[in-house]
């Protein structure tokens, strides 16, 4: 009887060891898949950002050719903010005057402020001009200017 119990114990130990080895392999494979997924997601995010920049640049070029640019290089930050208060959101997102470390003078031109903060001027102007097509403020008959219509 003892030999049977000993045999069962050895078999159980062998199964446990085998299971442990398999678990370690699966865990290692899972970590590798997670790392691969993370890299792929990062690459996808970078591609999406680049694509957005390219589309904004193309839209900027189209608006420039058709004379429909709202924001131009020589415009001051004060003028841009007077046109659309959402300019401040783009400034903060691109670190052009949106925080204490990248402050700009309101009398400075958009091009000078972007360049001084190490931001590509065309990317900055493209993002600003993209504001006009993403959302427009609506002045309804009842006077609620805060309502927005998404296109």
Per-residue confidence (pLDDT) for residue 63, from 0 to 100: 84
Query: Which residue has tokens 């930050």?
Result: 77
Per-residue confidence (pLDDT) for residue 12, from 0 to 100: 96
Task: Tell me the chain's radius of gyration from C-alpha atoms.
Answer: 29
Per-residue confidence (pLDDT) for residue 143, from 0 to 100: 45
Query: What angle in degrees, to the nearest 10, is found between the helix axes of 2-66 and 121-134?
Result: 90
Per-residue confidence (pLDDT) for residue 114, from 0 to 100: 92
Per-residue confidence (pLDDT) for residue 57, from 0 to 100: 86
Per-residue confidence (pLDDT) for residue 67, from 0 to 100: 84
Counting as low any pLDDT under 50, the low residues of the chain are 136-151
Concatenate the DSSP letters of all residues of 59-100 into one string.
Answer: HHHHHHHHT--SS-TT-BHHHHHHH-TTHHHHHHHTTSSSSG
What global pTM score does this model have?
A: 0.59
């Amino acid at each position: 009887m003892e030999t049977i119990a000993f045999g069962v114990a050895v078999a159980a130990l062998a199964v446990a060891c085998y299971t442990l080895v398999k678990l370690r392999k699966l865990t290692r494979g899972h970590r590798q898949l997670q790392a691969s997924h993370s890299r792929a997601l990062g690459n996808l995010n970078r591609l999406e950002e680049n694509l957005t920049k390219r589309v904004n640049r193309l839209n900027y070029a189209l608006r420039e050719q058709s004379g429909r640019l709202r924001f131009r290089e020589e415009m001051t930050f004060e003028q841009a903010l007077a046109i659309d208060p959402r300019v401040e959101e783009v400034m903060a997102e691109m670190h052009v005057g949106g925080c204490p470390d990248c402050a700009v003078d309101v009398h400075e031109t958009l091009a000078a402020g972007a360049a001084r903060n190490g931001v590509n001027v065309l990317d900055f102007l493209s993002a600003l001009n993209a504001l006009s097509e993403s959302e427009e403020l609506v002045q309804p008959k009842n006077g609620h200017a805060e309502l927005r219509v998404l296109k």
